[in-house]
Chains A and B, each alone.
Chain A
Amino acid sequence: MSELTPLEPALAELAEKFSDYLETHMPDVTTADVEAMERIHGGASRETFRVKVHLRTDASMPGETRGMILRRDPVGSLIDTDRDVEFNAYKAFYGGSVPVPEALFLEMDEKWLERPFFVMSEIVSGAAASPFAPAPYGEHAGTLGEQFWRHLGTISATDIEANGLAEKMETPALDQCWKKELDYWEGVIDADQLEPHPIARAAIRKLRRSPPPPAQKLSVVHGDYRTGNFMFDEHGEITAVLDWEMCHLGDALEDLAWALDPMWAADGPEMPGSLIPRAEAIAIWEKESGLKADPAALEWWELFSNLKGLGIWISSSHEYATGDNKDPILAFSGLYCTSRHNEIVAERLLKAFEEAN
């Protein structure tokens, strides 16, 4: 590496190693100088760095500066996922109508940056909004809402054979999609709970007592499709759908329900994601996906989504309390988000009981 311009001092060694990696893995490149590197909050599941790299193919030519995002496995994480899941999802969707960054490198060998990592191109326009802020989209809420639910419909409609994900991911039977997910998240809660959770346990029993109908088709499930996980620009255009690390194949209603979760509806559950009204959102998704949001099935998946949220937050509490990762976002997720999802689930369970009895 040559001519390292100022960057966060704590990241100088990582920058140098990353530069070496790029020079080794980009055959046409003679020098890859990291001009800037900063750690950003890209979710507590991976260490995320924004990097500016000056690439030269000929020492006598000026070269070009390119923005990249480096996602490295952490010591401990909010969600235990394989990094190739997210990388493969970006590869599968890049170039299509759902905007995603270009996946560049996936590296499992720890000799380069001490832990596995992957690299993607930086999305230069737009920013993400906080999922908990009221009215985060202002005048663009309507147009962003139309795009948000339409993109989800496109993801749900995607041909999993054509985009290659059927070869790379588990393909559950249509009537087992719900069970695979419920088993997984119950297992997470079993393994990670620091205290008994009567609300989560009641939800699990209710979900098992009355399973949903089989999935209408095997769909790509983004796994964390919600407000806060997309970037948008000043013109009200969604420029990237991010955070595909929980991507899997399953029932598309799982994604719909997660996006509708009251957790991300600071302006009330009838305005999911603080974007457009719920009924309108579901209609757009149905039109684009070609699938039906059967109310009873969606109700099951909405309770499941609340439970999945609890699984994530319980896991983050566990990671903070017992692991090596003391990222404060893990503790905050464990405190605030657990309490909020407990409220949501407890209210849902009581309402359902009182309606049935």
Chain B
Amino acid sequence: MRPEANDLLNGGFGTMLMDIAPNLNATYSTGSAAMIGLLMYCAGLEYERGADVRVKENDMFRAIFREATGHLDGDLQNRVSAAGQGMDEDFHISALNVANDALRELLIELHAHVEEVEAKWAREIEHSILTALNQSAKLRAIAVPQL
């Protein structure tokens, strides 16, 4: 599809902010129109990068699970080990979200677990998790254009 959805949304963002919002009479409507323009910008950003962000995040989290598996035991080890072996095959955003949510839940559990363990390996896993969370936050950052 050309123009792509993000091009359409960015075009709408500009029109909403520069043409429509300033010409509305009601203060609240002007603000809402500008805000809808910003949402169109965010949607365009997400259209372009949404799948890439989720796949990268999922890969990062799975790598941590593979790193941690050998240090765990019992049910947690089984679940972490299984999650570490997976890979994304369905690249619809909805499918990637299902995988991403499951991996995030398990990451939270693993993170809480290693925080309670007094061992060098636990600190290393903890550092890997915090580094991955930093990268995740940067991948999902939204730079709003200065208006």
Q: Are A198 and B108 in contact (CB under 8 A)?
A: yes
Q: Contact check: which of B28, B104, B112, B131 meets A39 at CB < 8 Å?
A: B28
Chain B min CB distance to A29 (Å): 27
Query: Do the beta carbons of B111 and A332 come within 8 Å of each other?
Result: no
> In the bound complex, do residue A339 and residue B26 qualify as a contact, i.e. CB atoms below 8 Å apart?
no
Q: Of the 9-residue stretches A115-123, A166-174, A213-221, A342-350, which lies at the interface with chain B?
A: A342-350
Mask for A170-190, Cβ within 8 A of B = 1, else 0? 000000000000000000000
Docked CA distance A198–B133 (Å): 8
Q: How far apart are the CA atoms of A343 and B135 in the complex, in Å?
A: 9
Interface-lining segment among B1-9, B70-78, B84-92, B136-144: B136-144
Query: B13-40: which residues lie under 8 A (CB-CB) from chain A?
Result: 26-28, 31-32, 35-36, 38-39
B119 to chain A, nearest CB (A): 12
Binds B, one of A57-65, A199-207, A231-239, A297-305: A199-207
B146's partner among A50, A134, A340 (CB-CB below 8 A) is A134
Q: Which of B107, B127, B144 contacts A198 (CB 8 A)?
A: B107
Q: Contact: B111 with A202, CB < 8 Å?
A: yes
Q: Is the CB of B97 closer than 8 A to any CB of chain A?
A: yes
- We find that the number of chain B residues with CB closer than 8 angstroms to chain A is 36
Q: How far is the CA of A168 from the CA of B32 in the complex (A)?
A: 35
Of B28, B39, B129, the residue contacting A332 (CB under 8 A) is: B39
**Once the chains bind, are B137 and A39 in contact (CB under 8 Å)?**
no
Cβ of B82 within 8 Å of any chain A Cβ, yes or no, is no
Report the bound CA distance from A149 to B129 in whole Å. 37
- Tell me the bound Cα distance from A50 to B26 in angstroms: 12
Query: Quick one: CB contact mask for B88-116 with A, threshold 8 Å, 1 for yes?
Result: 00000000010011001101100110010
Select one of A38, A198, A339, A340 contacting B111, CB under 8 A: A198
**What is the chain A residue whose CB lies nearest that of B146?**
A134
Contact of B42 with A by CB under 8 A: yes
Q: Give the residue name and chain of the A residue nearest to B28 (CB).
A: A39
Binds B, one of A12-20, A101-109, A323-331: A323-331
A195 to B27, CA, bound (A): 34
Residues of B within 8 Å of A340, CB to CB, are 141-142
User: Which of chain A's residues 296-342 have a Cβ closer than 8 Å to chain B?
Assistant: 327-329, 331-332, 335-336, 339-340, 342
Cβ contact within 8 Å between B127 and A357: yes
- A132 beta carbon closer than 8 Å to chain B: yes
Q: How far is the CA of A350 from the CA of B135 in the complex (A)?
A: 11
A residues contacting the other copy or chain, number (CB 8 A): 36
B39-52 vs A: 1/0 string, CB under 8 Å? 10010000000000
Q: Are A346 and B130 in contact (CB under 8 A)?
A: yes
B142 touches A39 (CB 8 A): no
| Bound complex: CA A15 to CA B69 (Å) | 65
Q: Which residues of A contact B31 (CB under 8 A)?
A: 40-41, 329
Chain A: which residue is nearest B32 at the CB level? Answer: A328
Contact A336 B36 (CB under 8 A): no
> Which of B111, B115, B142 is within 8 Å of A335, CB to CB?
B142
* Contact A336:B144 (CB < 8 A) given known A40-B28, A328-B32: yes
29 contacts between A and B (CB under 8 A): A8-B26, A38-B27, A39-B26, A39-B27, A39-B28, A41-B31, A50-B27, A195-B97, A197-B104, A198-B133, A201-B112, A202-B129, A202-B130, A205-B111, A328-B36, A328-B38, A329-B31, A329-B35, A332-B35, A332-B39, A335-B42, A336-B38, A342-B137, A346-B134, A346-B137, A347-B137, A353-B127, A354-B127, A357-B123
A residues at B contact (CB < 8 Å): 8, 38-41, 50, 132, 134, 195-199, 201-202, 205, 209, 327-329, 331-332, 335-336, 339-340, 342-343, 345-347, 349-350, 353-354, 357
